[in-house]
Chains A and B, each alone.
Chain A
Amino acid sequence: MFGVEEDWLAEPKPRCLVLEDYVGLTPRWCPGCGDHSVLGALQRLARDEQLPPEQTVVVSGIGCSSRFPHYMKTYGFHGLHGRPLPVACGVRARRPDLHLFVVTGDGDCCAIGTAHWIHAIRYNMKMTVLLLDNQIYGLTKAQTSPTSRAGQKSNTHPYGATLEPLNPLTVTLGIANASFVAQTVDWNPPHVYATLREAHRHEGLAFVRILQRCPHYMEGAWDALQRDPTGALLLTHPDGIPVDDAVARTFRNCLEHDPADLKAGRDLAARQDVVPIGLFYRNRAAGRYDQATAAGLGMSASVRLKNVQAQIDRFLI
């Protein structure tokens, strides 16, 4: 319309967000790093779900994967090593309107931040938690992580890691009030995308472990699995991660697993012979702490003031 600014229109055009609306700074991860794939999946998900960038928050800790928020064009919180979950819980506490994602690594989540991991699962506040697990400390240059396999050589264990790795899935599935636990692999972008979408739509804390390649320090760690997909076990179910036939065909081994079955989910998560991929457990009825934390948000200032006065008057003599 000539002479009239678009903003003045009584019925503005519906907002249409495109991929570029979510693209932040150029990633500085190494070429071939699995984080690129997850970033692409999240940006596509945000576009497909038309998440307003100003209503979207990505919280991370410290580590390679925790650079993630810088590469999104949303609100971001690149905080302290091991502490993204308390921050995210605080963000969520009084902001039910925000779309909230947490990106953490195996050092961030499973070592220095372990206490918060356990309790955040228990709080079950609505957010999507992505554990980018490359089984090594990358940013500090090749130290053993809690998920490093026994025998893994690193700068802190030049003769090989002495301990068996911690299994983030069995740990998470062992925590009271876990409500969504899935695993995917960075080199299968359609499955990553489908998993993130289910996670984002979950009404509670969705925990997604993403097996992630680190070509720099863990070169070839997942080569065998990539070459021979029989090492993987795709979990399928109408209530699981939806996969189309093309994706399913890339996995030779499929297993129908009902994500309502916690015990079966735990058994699957503990399997050492195959790498299960898909949704282990989903409980839509799990209690959500964010429903408690957001209580009273609509209370008017006048009521609040009246009640403050009453509180003070309790101490009158």
Chain B
Amino acid sequence: MSSQASSPTIEVVAQHIVEFVSDSGEGAQTAGQMFGSVSARMGNGVWTVEIIPAEIEPPHRSRAGASGNRIRIATEPVTNLGATADVVVAFNEQVLYSRIDVDALRAGTLIFLEDAWASAPEEEVRRAYAEALRDFEERGYRVIETPIERECRKLLDDPRRGKNMWCLGLLCAIYERDLAQVDIELDRRLGKKGQGVLEVNRKLVRAGFDWAVENVGFRFRVPVRPSTEPLVVMTGNHAVALGIMAAGFDVCAMYPITPATSVSHHLAAHFHEVSGFLHQAEDEIAAIGFALGASYAGKTAVTVTSGPGLALKTEFIGLAVMAELPLVVVVVQRGSPSTGLPTRVEQGDLLAALHGAPGDAPKIVLACSTIEECFHFVITARKLAEEFRCPVIVLSDANLATGQTPFRRPETSVEWLAPPVDQSPWDTSVRPYEWDSRTGLSERPIPGQRGGEYVLTGLAHDEASHVAYESATNQRGMAMRSRKLVTLQRSLRPPAIYGDPTGELLVVGWGSTRGAIEEAVRALREEGASVSSLTLRFLSPLEPGLTEIFRRFRQVLTIELNYSDDSDDPDVPRENRRLSQLAQLLRSHTLVDVDCWSRVPGVPLPPDMIERVLRARLTLAGKDA
């Protein structure tokens, strides 16, 4: 790049996608998050996604080792990771391949690539770099070889620690970010490390910024629209942790499991400030057992896990259903059965959450579709668990858990912190399961309440909690526990429809795919397509009115991040086709011929991919007509 500082060209865009990729430990994640926060503070819509290697210290310069962040910024609010990257900063060419492997780049993507490898002492490194450059050119990428380390060495002995800040400065220049905002961000993150560290980092940011001013002849302007309301920026896991605190939970018992663990990190540092206690149990089973014990004793308890942990907790969830104890289980879904894809996203635990238990174990299942909902649903879940005296599963996923976006600062209420019941004497004429036959609801005594002494049991029992093997008693107990879901459903509203309430195609989704689905639907609707979408938050019980809504569309299609056989797979007979999980559920409840399209890429579905799928459905329908 020649010196063009005087008059850079400015391209105004409604949105842009930036990626930071480095070897693990080089700080691309931090720099990416900071770029996102700075952009949010200036008034852009932002969504950031972590790029995480599965290992802590994977080999340097390897595809498996890519670590970093994708930051999508826009004038409007952003709800998902978007399609391909517009600008990438890469600390070596090998980590870039891991992004190429997942189609994160396209012809035309601009790459700021560390150029030090061209003069590396090892011949094979120099060769690999040169080969990659040729390859990138063939793929149509626009590579800007950038002297990142060389420039950083002017300020640092070891540029491995610090070049992330130089690159942050570079991006800030290209996107016209306010360096004062970067200073605030630096202060926040590094303030504790002392003035010296802070100063070095400030200088690095400034140096990167100045280098870009001097050497890069273009700018991207994503117009900002500063918010008039206070905003917060956080990940879904932070939102869950804050929700746990705002909901007044006494106890969170957990066992470390990716990608749920960071909830516990946040609670470990701050839960005591609101009098809560985080228990790291010896295993997943003990974690839920501990939570359930606390709940039985009249305290509010939550456990946080992911798919494999949900499997281990199944028996205790069944006990919570059977013994009618309130309990909140947050499941941050990851990929595949078994250990699967621990750091990746999937919506594979819906049916496990609903039905993954022996016998009939009716429980409430909610799914968060935004990071903001990760906060609010934890609070809703506590309320529902106590009101309906049963476990509530809150589904999140790795996409929400690690993504970051700004949203309105949530309000809180002192009422949310109230204990579930007091310790006043129990009316001895009321039995511990005095079921209201119409609603299935009953009140529970808590240790300490005189006159309420009862023995909770997982065995079939009658209203007095006495073990009962009689057929009629068992039938009634099962009916009463099931009835509670009907009662809850009666209080719910039909889901809101995004788009027209009637038309050719209705897309139904749940969880974190919402943003991408709505973006695709919006794009198609702008072209005049007859397509709408809806997102389900309640999966058990289902939100009411679905049959009626579905009948107003010629086609109903679920889009999901879990496995299904393709509808046009010639090797799969139609009646043996395995459907995605929500589709199975909706078909059985509504008897509408709900179709599905789903994939398990381990990464969120980008809106352009969904758009292509929907377009194909609509075109096909057009031909039929």
A311 touches B273 (CB 8 A): yes
A54 to chain B, nearest CB (A): 4
Say which residue of A58, A88, A89, A308 sits within 8 Å of B246 (CB atoms).
A308
- The winner among B232, B238, B281, B289 for most chain A CB atoms within 10 A is B289
Measured in the bound complex, the distance between the Cα atoms of B247 and A312 in whole Å is 13
Stretch at the interface among A39-47, A159-167, A247-255, A298-306: A298-306
- The winner among A58, A86, A92, A116 for most chain B CB atoms within 10 A is A86
Give every chain B residue within 8 A of A304 (Cβ-Cβ).
248, 274-275, 417
Measured in the bound complex, the distance between the Cα atoms of B612 and A89 in whole Å is 53
B 280-314 contacts with A by CB, 8 A: 281-283, 285-299, 301
A115 touches B293 (CB 8 A): no
Q: Considering the complex, give the chain A residue whose CB is closest to the CB of B233.
A: A317
Measured in the bound complex, the distance between the Cα atoms of B459 and A192 in whole Å is 29
A301 touches B418 (CB 8 A): yes
- The winner among A54, A92, A299 for most chain B CB atoms within 10 A is A54
A17 to chain B, nearest CB (A): 12
A155 to chain B, nearest CB (A): 23
Stretch at the interface among B445-453, B517-525, B549-557, B613-621: B445-453
B251 touches A54 (CB 8 A): no
The reply to whether the CB of B315 lies closer than 8 angstroms to some CB of chain A is yes
Q: Considering the complex, give the chain A residue whose CB is closest to the CB of B425.
A: A54
A288 to chain B, nearest CB (A): 14
Say which residue of B231, B273, B285, B456 sits within 8 Å of A76 (CB atoms).
B456
A295 touches B414 (CB 8 A): no
The reply to whether the CB of B253 lies closer than 8 angstroms to some CB of chain A is yes
Q: Considering the complex, give the chain A residue whose CB is closest to the CB of B42.
A: A317
Give every chain A residue within 8 A of B290 (Cβ-Cβ).
86-87, 89-90, 93
A77 touches B414 (CB 8 A): no
Give every chain A residue within 8 A of B285 (Cβ-Cβ).
83, 86, 116
B455 touches A83 (CB 8 A): no
A90 touches B232 (CB 8 A): no
A54 touches B274 (CB 8 A): no
Measured in the bound complex, the distance between the Cα atoms of B454 and A75 in whole Å is 5
A54 touches B409 (CB 8 A): no
The reply to whether the CB of B203 lies closer than 8 angstroms to some CB of chain A is no
Stretch at the interface among A94-102, A130-138, A142-150: A94-102
Q: Considering the complex, give the chain A residue whose CB is closest to the CB of B287.
A: A86
B 524-580 contacts with A by CB, 8 A: none
Give every chain B residue within 8 A of A19 (Cβ-Cβ).
none
Give every chain B residue within 8 A of A293 (Cβ-Cβ).
251, 277, 279
Q: Considering the complex, give the chain A residue whose CB is closest to the CB of B232.
A: A315
Measured in the bound complex, the distance between the Cα atoms of B242 and A313 in whole Å is 11
Measured in the bound complex, the distance between the Cα atoms of B300 and A304 in whole Å is 15
The reply to whether the CB of A229 lies closer than 8 angstroms to some CB of chain B is no
A87 touches B457 (CB 8 A): no
Give every chain B residue within 8 A of A95 (Cβ-Cβ).
297-299, 447-448
Say which residue of B41, B294, B447, B454 sits within 8 Å of A93 (CB atoms).
B294
B420 to chain A, nearest CB (A): 12
B450 touches A52 (CB 8 A): yes
A 69-110 contacts with B by CB, 8 A: 69-70, 72-80, 83, 85-95, 97-98
- A308-B412, A311-B273, A316-B231 known; A79 vs B246 contact (CB < 8 Å): no
B242 touches A312 (CB 8 A): yes
Measured in the bound complex, the distance between the Cα atoms of B129 and A174 in whole Å is 57
Measured in the bound complex, the distance between the Cα atoms of B142 and A77 in whole Å is 67
Binary contact readout B571-614 vs A (1 if CB under 8 angstroms, 0 otherwise): 00000000000000000000000000000000000000000000
A90 touches B291 (CB 8 A): yes
Measured in the bound complex, the distance between the Cα atoms of B242 and A122 in whole Å is 30
Q: Considering the complex, give the chain A residue whose CB is closest to the CB of B449.
A: A54
Measured in the bound complex, the distance between the Cα atoms of B37 and A144 in whole Å is 61
- A311-B274, A312-B242 known; A94 vs B414 contact (CB < 8 Å): no
B455 touches A78 (CB 8 A): yes
- The winner among B298, B319, B452 for most chain A CB atoms within 10 A is B319
- A55-B447, A316-B230 known; A116 vs B297 contact (CB < 8 Å): no
The reply to whether the CB of B263 lies closer than 8 angstroms to some CB of chain A is no
The reply to whether the CB of B191 lies closer than 8 angstroms to some CB of chain A is no
The reply to whether the CB of B77 lies closer than 8 angstroms to some CB of chain A is no
A312 touches B417 (CB 8 A): no
The reply to whether the CB of B365 lies closer than 8 angstroms to some CB of chain A is no
The reply to whether the CB of B40 lies closer than 8 angstroms to some CB of chain A is yes
A317 touches B41 (CB 8 A): yes
Give every chain B residue within 8 A of A299 (Cβ-Cβ).
274-275
A57 touches B275 (CB 8 A): no
Give every chain B residue within 8 A of A316 (Cβ-Cβ).
230-232, 409
- A55-B447, A90-B290, A317-B231 known; A115 vs B282 contact (CB < 8 Å): yes
B289 touches A87 (CB 8 A): yes
Measured in the bound complex, the distance between the Cα atoms of B455 and A24 in whole Å is 10
A73 touches B447 (CB 8 A): no
Binary contact readout A217-258 vs B (1 if CB under 8 angstroms, 0 otherwise): 000000000000000000000000000000000000000000
Give every chain B residue within 8 A of A89 (Cβ-Cβ).
286, 289-290, 293
- A54-B450, A315-B238 known; A98 vs B297 contact (CB < 8 Å): yes
A 158-203 contacts with B by CB, 8 A: none
Residue pairs across A and B with Cβ atoms less than 8 A apart, 20 shown, are A54-B452, A57-B297, A69-B455, A72-B455, A76-B456, A79-B292, A87-B292, A87-B293, A90-B290, A91-B297, A93-B279, A116-B282, A119-B282, A305-B417, A308-B274, A311-B242, A311-B270, A311-B273, A312-B412, A317-B37
* B contacts, CB < 8 Å to A: 37, 40-41, 230-234, 238, 242, 245-246, 248, 250-251, 253, 270, 272-277, 279, 281-283, 285-299, 301, 315-316, 319, 406, 409-410, 412-414, 417-418, 447-459, 466-467
Give me the 6 closest cross-chain CB pairs, A-B, nearest first: A90-B293, A86-B289, A76-B455, A296-B275, A299-B275, A87-B293
Beyond A78-B459, A80-B315, A305-B414, 10 additional contacts (C-beta under 8 Å) are A75-B454, A77-B293, A90-B279, A90-B293, A93-B290, A116-B285, A295-B272, A296-B275, A304-B248, A309-B412
* A contacts, CB < 8 Å to B: 24-25, 52-55, 57-59, 62, 69-70, 72-80, 83, 85-95, 97-98, 115-116, 118-119, 292-297, 299, 301-302, 304-305, 307-313, 315-317
